[in-house]
Amino acid sequence: MRKQVFIRLVTYAVLAALSMMIPAIPTGQAQTPSPAAAPAPPAPQMPPSLVPVKVIDLMTAEGSAVFGAQWKTMEAKIVEGPPIANAMPGYKTSYDIQPHAGEPRFDDSSWPIIGAKGLADRRGGGKVSFIWYRANLTIPAKIGDFDTSGATAVLTAYVDDYAEVWVNGQMPRRAGYPSPAAIQGFNMPNRVVLADVVKPGDKFQIAIFGINGPISVAPMNFVWFREAKIEFFR
């Protein structure tokens, strides 16, 4: 019995000492919450290989108007910064792209507006260059006599020479798996599933990062769209 009482007394003493070591939070001052983890990018999907039941050309004024799309563009630039943590000795700088226009809540209000046909214009100064294109698309209830409800919607962005596609602030990708939103190859289209099942009023913020390539060649050409369209499948 005495042994149990002694153990209890020692336990109480240890707990009391620990409580004194933890700083008290002043009255009325809330604890700083831990930063929320960044949302994981959506899983990439392979687009259907079937013949689409409806195709809308986004490189025409009429086609972009179907989705209320207003295109904007801006050149992206390489900027220099400090190296990341744990860089090997001798590496004193890192390089980034500005702006990061694919991210959520990016403000493009100051960007110039271009017409849908302007997607075909040769942009950039040539060699190693990068161009952002942005638009907001809203799925209509009908396109002519085609009812969009329940269809699968696929965006095709065919940029000369490479492209990366962001949808609603994320670039769908998964390491080791086909990821249509990432670079597909030299002058190959990106076919990105916007949704398996769309409904009227669905909104998609599209940001397309056009890249002149091959980068190590620094080619004597420009960045432009060969094709941009929305395909519907059932």
What integer pLDDT is reported at residue 40 of this predicted model? 54
The CA distances from residue 218 to 127, 163, 201, 212, in Å, are 4, 16, 42, 8
Q: What are the DSSP calls for 66-128, one per residue? A: HTT--EEEEEEEEEEEPPPTTPPTT---EEEEE--TTSTT---TTSPEE-GGGGGS-BSSSSS
Least-confidence region, from 6-20, 58-72, 186-200: 6-20
**Residues of the chain above pLDDT 90, percent:** 79
Answer yes or no: are the C-beta atoms of 228 and 118 closer than 8 Å. no
Arithmetic mean of pLDDT over the chain: 87
**Proportion of the chain in helix, strand, coil states, percent, rounded to 5:** 15, 35, 50
Distance CA(77)–CA(97), nearest Å, equals 6
pLDDT category, 158, cuts 50, 70, 90? Answer: very high
Is 86 buried (19+), middle (13-18) or exposed (0-12) by CB count in 10 A? exposed
- Tokens encoding 130: 């990068």
Distance CA(62)–CA(59), nearest Å, equals 9
Beta bridge pairs of residue 208: 133, 165
**Residues of the chain above pLDDT 70, percent:** 82
Question: What's the angle, vertex CA 183, arms to CA 177 and CA 185, rounded to 5?
Answer: 100
- Residue 223 in 3-state DSSP? strand
pLDDT in tens, 11-30: 444 444 444 444 444 444 44
CB atoms within 10 A of CB 198: 18
Question: What's the angle, vertex CA 136, arms to CA 133 and CA 139, rounded to 5?
Answer: 135
Q: pTM to 2 decimals?
A: 0.82
Beta bridge pairs of residue 169: none
Distance CA(152)–CA(47), nearest Å, equals 9
pLDDT in tens, 73-96: 999 999 999 999 999 999 999 999
**Cβ contacts of residue 56 below 8 Å, gap of 6+?**
63, 66, 67, 143, 229, 230
What integer pLDDT is reported at residue 42 of this predicted model? 61
What integer pLDDT is reported at residue 102 of this predicted model? 97
